[in-house]
Amino acid sequence: MLVLKKAPHFSSPAVINGEEIVEDFSLDQYIGKQHVVFFFYPKDFTFVCPTELWAFQEKMEEFKKRNVAVVACSTDTEETHLAWLSTSKDKGGIEGVQYPIVADTAKTIATNFGIIPGYMDFDDEGNAIFEGAPIALRASFLIDKEGIVRHQVVNDFPLGRNIDEMIRMIDALQYVEKHGEVCPANWEEGKEAMQATKEGVSSYLASH
């Protein structure tokens, strides 16, 4: 688990603005400036994955309002990312997605984030084999302006994530940072928070 730890550093190729390949993309550019939602998905040109990438794109105004950068990553190449971004939605593509998509072809980023569901091993003849699936799980990380992971969630391959829940977690984190209070179960923007004291908890529970 990475919560309360520094997000692992990387510098890797990525496609930005849906059309341009850069060779040395890093999350370091957001340090001190923006919160970041960094999410992994298994593979380009698959089935659940485009629904998720589109769901993030459709909520981009909500992320921008909160000064949050969204960055995606999979173990596909940057050329495959670009091809997928050049394919229309009605053909299973993600043309129109604008946030960066990182290429983790060496699988080092996903490994450092702890979301490759398998490991390298050797058979009886000394040949390298991989036990498990050598692609990223559906993992999302909410990283604060200091580069610290404050929230993470990891789904199995068939289980698509809830983008509205990520926005709720952003609201909670930003509320805590601004007000110093804590957010109870099912908290949403506009609802009452509470003081992290016995008296604060008692008062909150008594009023609910």
Mean pLDDT of each 10-residue bin along the chain, 208 residues long: 98 97 98 98 96 97 98 98 96 96 97 94 90 95 98 97 97 95 91 76 62
Evaluate whether residue 199 is within a structural domain: yes
Question: pLDDT digit string (tens) for 138-154?
Answer: 999 999 999 999 999 99
Residues 25 and 112 in one domain: yes
Q: Which domain holds residue 167?
A: 162-208
Indicate if 187 and 84 belong to the same structural domain: no
**Per the domain annotation, does 3 fall within a domain?**
no
Q: Could you tell me if residue 25 is inside a domain? A: yes
Q: Are residues 60 and 138 both part of a single domain? A: yes
Number of domains making up the chain = 2
Whether residue 7 is contained in a domain is answered as no
Q: What is the pTM of this model?
A: 0.94
Residues marked active site are found at 49
Pairing of strands 101-103, 138-143: unpaired
Say if residue 55 is in the same domain as residue 96: yes
At which residue do the structure tokens 């589109």 appear?
54
Domain CATH for 24:
3.40.30.10
Q: Kindly state whether residues 95 and 174 are assigned to the same domain.
A: no
Residue 195: what pLDDT? Answer: 86
pLDDT, residue 197, reads: 74
For residue range 162-188, what is the model confidence (pLDDT) as tens digits?
999 999 999 999 999 999 999 999 999
Same domain as 104, residue 30: yes
Give the other-Cβ count within 10 Å of 73's Cβ.
Answer: 27
93 and 181 part of one domain: no
Helix (H, G, I), strand (E, B) or coil at 96: coil
The confidence score (pLDDT) of residue 30 equals 98
Same domain for 53 and 147? yes
150 and 50 in a common domain: yes
Helix/strand/coil percent split, the chain, to 5:
30, 25, 45
Q: Assess whether 94 and 116 both reside in one domain.
A: yes
Give the Å distances, CA to CA, from 141 to 93, 100, 101, 124, 148. 24, 15, 15, 38, 10
Residues 53 and 96 in one domain: yes
- Classify residue 5: in a domain, yes or no: no
Q: Are residues 85 and 171 in the same domain?
A: no
Of 160, 176, 199, the one marking the end of a domain is 160
